[in-house]
Structure 1
Amino acid sequence: MDGRLKLNYSNYKLVLPYIYLTVVPLIWAGNFIVGKVLIGVLPPFSISAGRFIVGALILGLLLLNLKDRTKLDGILKIKILILGLTGVFAFNSLLYIGLKYTTAINATLINSFSPIVTIYCSWLFLKENIGYKQILGSFFAILGIIIIQSQGSPAVLYNLDFNIGDLIIFLNTFIWAIFTILGKNVMYSLSPMETTTYSTLAGLPFLFLASGWEISHTDIALSWPIAAGILYLGVFATVLAFIWYYKGIQMVGVAKSANFYNLIPVYSIFLAVFFLQEQITPYHITGGFCVMLGIVLSSGNLKLARFFIRK
């Protein structure tokens, strides 16, 4: 034996949830870029409606082909309705609304507190254990994001000007926490795919009403680039990302999963370099290292580290 941990089925199961939770923020980082472009030509609820219509069509077909569908009781239906109202109807739409009133640096910095809110809500409502590794990991992840968003300058943080948009985005972190921890509870009864599908279908009627009002008061000119953007949001940012996110939560829990959300701004930097030819600076490298360190610490899984490192 050459001293390396061989890849077998048990090791595959060990690594798989972390693969899901690493890829999902990359998809959602693309969501921020595509959404930023679309918000210039479409109103916020209409973007969300288009996205989740595409997602619902795909998820509905997958659900119809599922042989053993779980029967929904009254309590489960109420929980799914809340998932639809939070994660499907409210979260992304409110994020776009908040961006109308605040800067991108404020929005990303405030939204980065979502994992912290989620972790402590999971402790409060799901009774998930939070050890010192999760707390320390949260600290380093947030520190990394502050370094990135402040461009390594304390003066940038000192001069931040908070407004109504900042308040909207801060309140949105609690909406994401509700969506995440309630999803964990629902998955005691449903699979990740069923949870994603039913919550999408539950949120669509509310998006139809809101987007219908927007369309009646807005001139919208559709084009192929807009359709391509909506298609990306529906297929990748909705179907794949939500299913994989819930699978990660189901396999390793909310507390460990939450800090992976902090990869979004890190990925956004590299996407900006690739698509917008922006430059990577030392504060990007320092902040990205802190985020990755926070994620490794919060996972608390030494076997996972050994999987990638030779003995």
Structure 2
Amino acid sequence: MEGMHVSAGRLAIGFAILAAVLYGISSPVAKILLNTTSPELMAALLYLGAGIGMFAVNLVTRARNREQKEAPLAKKDLPFVIGMILLDIAAPILLMLGLSLTTAANASLLNNFEIVVTVLVALLIFREAIGRRLWIAIVLIVAGSVLLTVEDMSSFSFSAGSILVILACVCWGVENNCTRMLSLKNPMQIVVVKGFGAGFGALLIAALASGMQTDLVSVAAALVLGFFAYGLSIYLYVRAQRDLGAARTSAFYAVAPFIGAGISFAVFRTPLTPLFALAAGIMVLGAYFAATGGHTHFHIHERMIHEHRHRHDDGHHSHVHDPPVFEEHSHEHTHERLEHDHPHGEDMHHVHVHEEK
């Protein structure tokens, strides 16, 4: 069982890093598209691209394999779905407004602040365990974020664009925890709901703000960017949250800002200032501490009834089927009280209190 948990954890880390790579391209490419498209409309197109693209992928997947292995969203999930959509409407609009006022490299690195908000919300509201290394990471990332928001050290003035990007990170940090509560459900369905819900919401705001001016090439480019940088990225992110929890998944997602910053320097030839280099160095160190962790200890699983995709050789799903089922499948099932010891993260099966961090 221990080997299986390690293997699942490594696969989840791979999902999180690939999600980060896909998202990392969004800021520099969106910066270019903002020359012809308003921030509100850009935000709408990115999420609509995610929704349309993943809806098409879902249709193809279901046509090839009619057996439903994932648990669908249910009525009790509605509060988290609504919160997720509202925050996903606000966050990309704030990010696009910030991108229009600051450099793509600066905005990319500031996205690391999302880790801080995600971790704090996971700790204070959803009771995820936060270890010493994550606390060190929080302090370093906050310090780096503050440096990046300072426009002029001599006068200590703040960049409006940077502050807008940080506000976007606050929205996404809270939204990550809403998504984490849905992480056992069908990830494609989650992305489609996110995409169409947030996309049409932002589109309404764009129409009310008279920000619908663009061209067909920009629309097509934004939709494609949305499918890869938001749609596939969110899908992989949700899959990673199943095994890692919100805090650690967000930590591995810290790869994204550095990818975005690297592309920005290559494309826009942004000058590398000493302040930016210092902030980047601090954030690299913070991302390292955030991404290295995990723990093993004796813990208790209280009795639980829920529905999600699972298999019966993972040490947590010991209920019996007649006839036996060996492949992955989904149905409502009961976890009886269980006490054991194995390496684990802060996924939905390991929400327990740690006396010592």
Tell me if both proteins adopt one fold, taking TM over 0.5 as the criterion: yes
Please list, as runs of the form range in 1=range in 2, the aligned pairs for 1:124-273 lying within 5 A after superposition: 124-142=124-142, 149=148, 157=153, 159-162=155-158, 165-188=161-184, 190-214=185-209, 219-223=213-217, 226-227=218-219, 229-273=221-265
Contact kept? 2:42, 2:96, Cα under 8 Å: no
- Paired residue type of 2:21: L
Q: Percent sequence identity over matched residues? A: 19
Give the direction of change, closer, same or farther, for the CA distance of 1:124–1:289 in structure 2 (3 Å limit): closer
Question: RMSD over aligned Cα, in angstroms?
Answer: 3.5
Contact 2:113–2:145 at 8 Å: present in 1 too?
no
Partner of 2:76: 75
Matches of 1:82 and 1:288, distance apart in 2: 29
**Superimposed CA distance per residue, residues 121-168 of structure 1 (whole angstroms, 9 cap, x where no aligned partner):** 101111101111211233345556677x59xxx995554522654543
Describe the shift of the 1:184–1:109 C-alpha distance in structure 2 as closer, same or farther (beyond 3 A).
same
Question: 1:110: Cα distance to partner?
Answer: 5.0
Of 41, 46, 56, 1:51 maps to 46
Which secondary structure state, in structure 2, belongs to the residue aligned with residue 186 of structure 1? coil
Residue 12 of structure 2: aligned partner: 17
- Residue 93 of structure 1: how far off its partner (Å): 1.3
* 2-structure distance, mates of 1:289, 1:101: 24
**CA deviation profile, 1:200-222 (whole Å, cap 9, x unmatched):** 232233123123335x5654333
Which amino acid letter does the alignment assign opposite residue 96 of structure 2? Answer: Y
Q: Distance in 1 between matches of 2:249 and 2:206?
A: 32
Max radius of gyration: which structure? 2
Distance 1:39 1:155 in 2: 22
Matching of residue 38 in structure 1 with residue 33 in structure 2:
yes
Distance 1:195 1:291, change over 3 A: same
Paired residue for 2:21, among 21, 26, 31? 26
CA distance in 1, matches of 2:238, 2:246: 9
Tell which has more relative contact order, 1 or 2 (C-alpha 8 A, sep 6+). 1
The 3 A distance-change label for structure 1 pair 232 and 122 is same
Aligned residues: 287
Q: Which amino acid aligns with 2:227?
A: V
More deviation in 117-126 or 104-113?
104-113
Give 1:288 shift. Answer: 6.6
Structure 2 CA distance for partners of 1:293 and 1:228, relative to 1, 3 Å = same
Q: Which has the higher helix share?
A: 1
Distance change (3 Å), C-alpha of 1:192 and 1:61:
same
Cα gap change, 1:50/1:171 in structure 2, threshold over 3 Å: closer, same or farther?
A: closer
Q: Is the Cα–Cα contact under 8 Å of residues 146 and 287 in structure 1 kept in the other structure?
A: no
Paired with 2:29 and 2:272, the residues of 1 have a C-alpha distance of: 21
Residue 121 of structure 1 aligns to a residue in which SS?
helix
Q: Shift in Å at residue 294 of structure 1?
A: 2.2
Decide which structure has greater strand share: 2
TM-score by length of 2: 0.67
In the superposition, relative to structure 1, how do residues 286 and 184 fare at CA in structure 2: closer, same or farther (>3 Å)? closer
Q: Counterpart in 2 of 1:84?
A: 85
Query: Partner letter of residue 184 of structure 1?
Result: R
Q: Is 1:123 matched with 2:134?
A: no
1:77-102 Cα shifts (integer Å, max 9, x gaps): 33212211212x22111111233455
| Separation in 2, partners of 1:155, 1:72 | 44
| More displaced stretch, 42-51 vs 120-129 | 42-51
CA distance in structure 2 between the partners assigned to 1:106 and 1:273 by the alignment:
10
Give 1:92-131 correspondences, 5 Å limit: 92-101=92-101, 107=107, 111-131=111-131
Cα drift, residue 50 of structure 1: 2.0
* TM-score, normalising length: structure 1: 0.76
The 3 A distance-change label for structure 1 pair 299 and 158 is farther
